[in-house]
């Protein structure tokens, strides 16, 4: 009962709670843990994510030290951080953190899935995507055109995101986003793709959509793909937790054709 109490107190926002439950269920067969508080302690530090190459992971009690301090600070008033540094603090002051707060307030089914996907990104992934979002908002505000960034697909076969930023009329902007997401989903053979439309004036969320259905060949989509620009989305596998750091002189994975140091690293 104390473990449930601690989970609901530390993960008091719905997205964070659902994220923990989803990851706990996903990796349950890999975890050897003395108790649930140790598992929660690891999650609060770095997200409960394990490499697919690992068969079993043994967790040590020391992983719960930050959680122990936080609970004592909250319950007994002892000195210490009431919120352990890690997944609950890493988005503070970032655009992604603000978007997650908006997603939690709206509580839309389309946004909930997107929010969970964002939470499961590693810190470097989040920093990269955060810079990309800031870049497209800034560019859309300057030139009044449509700018976008897509992340996903690759060898994950799971899901992806396309984010648009423009000031077009609602029906036009939503149709463009839907078409872009449909093409990305089909091209990467994924079963789910999320779309997010941002306002260039303030970077706020205008609308969102989700496409969820098992991928299958479609002759109409094959025809569309022949004329669609061949700029691949950034693979989630390249940005997943534990992935290699992007070199300054390598081509930026956003597809711009520029070196990383002159593209998103600059933002």
Quote the pLDDT of residue 263.
Answer: 66
pLDDT digits (tens, 9 = 90+) for 215-247: 899 988 888 888 877 665 555 554 444 444 556
Please state the pTM of the whole predicted model: 0.79
Query: Do residues 33 and 117 share a domain?
Result: no
Residue 103 domain-assigned (yes or no): no
CB 198 within 8 A of CB 204: yes
Residue 80 domain-assigned (yes or no): no
Query: Do residues 242 and 117 share a domain?
Result: yes
Quote the pLDDT of residue 155.
Answer: 42
Contacts of the segment 167-172: beta carbons below 8 A, 24+ positions apart: 167/140, 167/199, 167/200, 167/201, 170/206, 170/207
Domain that holds residue 50: 2-75
The token pair at 202 is 């303030």
Query: Do residues 131 and 66 share a domain?
Result: no
Query: Do residues 193 and 70 share a domain?
Result: no
State phi, psi for 194 to the nearest 5 degrees: -105, 145
Domain termination residue (choose one: 75, 90, 124): 75
Query: Do residues 37 and 117 share a domain?
Result: no
Q: Chain-centre distance of CA 223, in angstroms? A: 31
Domain termination residue (choose one: 75, 100, 127): 75
Contacts of the segment 23-29: beta carbons below 8 A, 24+ positions apart: 23/47, 23/48, 23/49, 23/120, 24/48
Q: Give the range among 91-95, 202-206, 245-249 with minimum mean pLDDT.
A: 245-249
Quote the pLDDT of residue 254.
Answer: 55
Query: Do residues 153 and 198 share a domain?
Result: yes
Q: Looking at the chain, which runs of residues are DSSP E strands?
A: 31-32, 57-58, 147-152, 159-165, 192-198, 205-212
Residue 223 domain-assigned (yes or no): yes
User: Average model confidence (pLDDT) for the chain?
Assistant: 84
Query: Do residues 45 and 166 share a domain?
Result: no
Total number of domains constituting the chain = 2
Q: Where are the alpha helices (DSSP H) in 62-208?
A: 65-75, 95-106, 109-119, 123-143, 170-188
Residue 16, pLDDT > 90, answer yes
Nearest to 228 by CA among 143, 150, 166, 173: 150
Query: Do residues 158 and 250 share a domain?
Result: yes
Percentage of the chain lying above the pLDDT 70 cut: 83
Query: Do residues 152 and 237 share a domain?
Result: yes
């Amino acid at each position: 009962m104390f473990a449930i109490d601690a989970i609901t107190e530390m993960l008091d926002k719905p997205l964070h709670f659902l994220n923990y439950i989803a990851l706990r269920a996903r990796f349950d067969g890999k975890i050897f843990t003395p108790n649930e508080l140790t598992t929660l302690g690891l999650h609060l530090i770095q997200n409960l994510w394990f490499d697919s190459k690992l068969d079993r992971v043994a967790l040590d009690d020391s992983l719960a030290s930050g959680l122990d301090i936080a609970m004592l600070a909250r319950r007994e008033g002892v000195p210490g951080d009431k919120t352990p540094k890690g997944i609950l603090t890493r988005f503070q002051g970032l655009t992604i953190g603000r978007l997650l707060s908006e997603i939690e307030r709206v509580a839309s089914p389309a946004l909930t899935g997107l929010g969970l996907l964002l939470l499961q990104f590693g810190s470097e992934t989040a920093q990269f995507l955060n810079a990309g979002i800031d870049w497209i908002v800034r560019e859309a505000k300057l030139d009044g055109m449509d700018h976008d960034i897509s992340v996903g697909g690759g060898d994950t076969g799971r899901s992806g995101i396309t984010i648009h930023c423009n000031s077009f009329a609602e029906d036009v902007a939503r149709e463009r986003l839907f078409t872009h997401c449909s093409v990305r989903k089909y091209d990467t053979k994924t079963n789910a793709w999320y779309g997010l439309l941002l306002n260039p004036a303030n970077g706020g969320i205008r609308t969102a959509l989700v496409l969820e259905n098992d991928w299958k060949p479609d002759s109409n989509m094959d025809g569309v793909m022949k004329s669609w620009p061949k700029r691949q989305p950034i693979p989630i596998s390249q940005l997943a937790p534990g992935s290699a750091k992007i070199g300054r002189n390598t081509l930026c994975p956003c597809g711009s054709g520029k070196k990383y140091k002159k593209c998103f690293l600059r933002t």
